[in-house]
Homo-oligomer: A and B are copies of this chain.
Amino acid sequence: MSAPLDYFKPLSDSSTRQRTQTRERILEAAEAVFADNGYHEALVDEIGKKTSMSKGGLYFHFPSKEDLFFAVMDRLANKLVKRAEKAADRANSPLESAEAALDAVLSALSAQRRLARLLITQGYSMGNAFECKRSEIFDRFANVISQNLDEAKSDGQISDINTDLAARVWLGAVNETVVHWLFSDGPTPKETASDLRRLLLASVQVSNPSIKSKDAV
């Protein structure tokens, strides 16, 4: 009946949309489950329950638990990096960009304890695979920071330091602050944000942390 030629367009726009929507639904649920339990303790069946979808259905969309986890991580990291970059763009000097990125990340993590946990901790249980993913993600953050520091350096805003290392130091500091908050009931990252900013700016030799209204426009 139908001409032999009409199945080279197998997926209509709407079905593609449907598809990514379902994927999104799964990712959302998976994020919650992984955040609550960590990779190993998280059960695929529970993700199914939260999605009102069977295990088979899940496996139709994602080839393995591991892939699903990585997809969740990527999605999260993308959101955060974009947020940081946007904040950086709004600032009007490289150094302030770096500060803004820092603040953006700190407040985002503070607001979502579970996400912080997921992003920073929960993956290590998977062994090497995750560790590579983690450094990939951290590298993206490090780049946002070090690029701005580089500019600040050539602008003479900061002293002549190893900006890659400085970026790493900043990241490490944030990481540790968050972890301490997560597991030892330390203060919220947001609470320590201003002290932290002071320390980190000092590390790149800005001795006088302007009350930041300095070049506000």
Size band of the interface chain A makes with B: 35 or more
- Docked complex Cα distance between A41 and B124 (Å): 12
Q: Are A199 and B131 in contact (CB under 8 A)?
A: no
With both beta carbons as reference points, the residue of chain B lying nearest to A159 in the complex is identified as B202
Q: Give which listed residue, B38, B41, B184, B199, contacts A139 with CB less than 8 A.
A: B184
Q: Any chain B CB within 8 A of the CB of A107? A: no
CB distance from A172 to the nearest CB of B (A): 3
Q: Are A168 and B183 in contact (CB under 8 A)?
A: no
Q: Any chain B CB within 8 A of the CB of A20? A: no
Given A165-B199, A199-B165, A200-B203, residue A172 in contact with residue B176 (CB < 8 A): yes
Q: Are B169 and A176 in contact (CB under 8 A)?
A: yes
Q: Any chain B CB within 8 A of the CB of A52? A: no
0/1 interface trace, chain A 169-194, chain B, CB 8 Å (1 if under): 10111111101101110100000100
- Docked complex Cα distance between A199 and B166 (Å): 7
Q: Any chain B CB within 8 A of the CB of A161? A: yes
Q: How many copies does the complex hold?
A: 2
**Residue numbers in B under 8 Å from A123 (CB-CB):** 124
**Which residues of A (93-134) have their CB < 8 Å from a CB of B?**
121-127, 131-132, 134
Q: Are A121 and B125 in contact (CB under 8 A)?
A: no
With both beta carbons as reference points, the residue of chain B lying nearest to A198 in the complex is identified as B161
- Docked complex Cα distance between A179 and B138 (Å): 11
CB distance from A110 to the nearest CB of B (A): 15
- Docked complex Cα distance between A71 and B94 (Å): 47
Q: Give which listed residue, B41, B127, B192, B205, contacts A127 with CB less than 8 A.
A: B41
A-to-B contact residues, CB < 8 Å: 37-41, 121-127, 131-132, 134-135, 138-139, 161-162, 165-166, 168-169, 171-177, 179-180, 182-184, 186, 192, 195-196, 198-200, 202-205, 207
9 contacts between A and B (CB under 8 A): A41-B127, A121-B131, A123-B124, A135-B180, A162-B199, A169-B169, A172-B173, A175-B176, A202-B204
